[in-house]
Amino acid sequence: MPITLKIYRLVTLALVIASGSPMALALPQSSAVPGGIVAIKLNDNLAVTPKAYFQKKPVSVIQHESAWYAVLGLNLNIKVGDHFVTSQGKRYPFTVTDKQYEEQHITLKTRKHIDLSEADLNRHRGEKAKAQAVFKAFDETTPLDLDFVKPVKGPYSSPFGLKRFYNGEPRNPHSGLDIAAPTGTPILAPSTGKVVLTGDFFFNGNVVYVDHGQGVISMFCHLSKIQVKEGDTLEKGQKLGEVGATGRVTGPHLHWSVSMNNARIDPMLLMKKP
């Protein structure tokens, strides 16, 4: 185990013992809409972390003010209406309400990233399979800290959830957050985590995937430089690369996606409101 991760865990344990109660870990902003997050208080006063599930898949569970909370992400295509989380044989209901996201029309100078050749399509399929395996992972050994910080200094250029059109043709909604910044701007880890995948991808360009624990994954796209390698353990605020314009882009920026229980969610919900 890396020394930095050992120190983090020892400090966490010491704080819990000193206070005599669970740490007041940050809860994300709840927003029960497609692309949102739900935090549900569990009626379990257990000494060990309870298990919680949504649609038969595990979700994050954290302690906050001496209580356990199931924290789960909601896919952009989730059905509006009643749903429930299960834990220790109990059901915890919640209701998803609709949200209409705005449209964004983008013009690309070439159609390379619209009309894919057979070789490019096969490449994309292979890269997509690697990414899906990362998003489905549920690492219970990495301490989860949901108090995220902004990874790049710069204005937000494209919000999460936009209904996107490339050269007039509809594509998948924007499943991340774009931050405009010049090429070479440092990209910092928004929270502790482990680098689980890097590479040069067809659509995403130079990309880094960081596993923050319990099914929470960050994806950083279009980098000019990758300065970490798979297996590295990152502290919050540690540099992992630099902003660039690789892959399908119209200019330099960081595309940052956050996946929670394999659902792409709005990263803004994990950061404190200014």
Q: Are 123 and 199 in contact (CB under 8 A)?
A: no
- CATH assignment, 3-96: 2.60.40.1590
pLDDT in tens for each of the 274 residues of the chain?
444 444 444 444 333 333 333 345 679 988 999 999 999 999 877 788 899 999 999 999 999 988 999 999 999 999 999 999 999 999 999 999 999 888 776 666 666 556 778 898 899 999 999 999 999 999 998 889 999 999 999 999 989 988 866 666 656 788 999 999 999 999 999 999 999 999 999 999 999 999 999 999 999 999 999 999 999 999 999 999 999 999 988 899 999 999 999 999 999 999 976 5
Q: What pLDDT score does 7 carry?
A: 42
Q: What pLDDT score does 122 carry?
A: 93
Of 50, 43, 98, nearest in space to 74 by CA = 98
Q: What pLDDT score does 5 carry?
A: 43
Would you state the structure tokens that stand for residue 84, as one six-digit string?
A: 């429930």
Distances (CA, A) of 95 to 43, 46, 61: 19, 26, 19
Q: At 120, is the secondary structure helix, strand, or coil?
A: helix
Q: At 10, is the secondary structure helix, strand, or coil?
A: helix
Q: Are 195 and 231 in contact (CB under 8 A)?
A: yes
* 103-270 CATH pick, 3.30.413.10, 1.20.1740.10, 2.70.70.10, 3.60.70.12: 2.70.70.10
Strand (E) or helix (H) holding 133: helix 118-135
Q: What pLDDT score does 113 carry?
A: 59
Domains in the chain: boundaries? 3-96, 103-270
Domains 3-96 and 103-270 share a fold: no
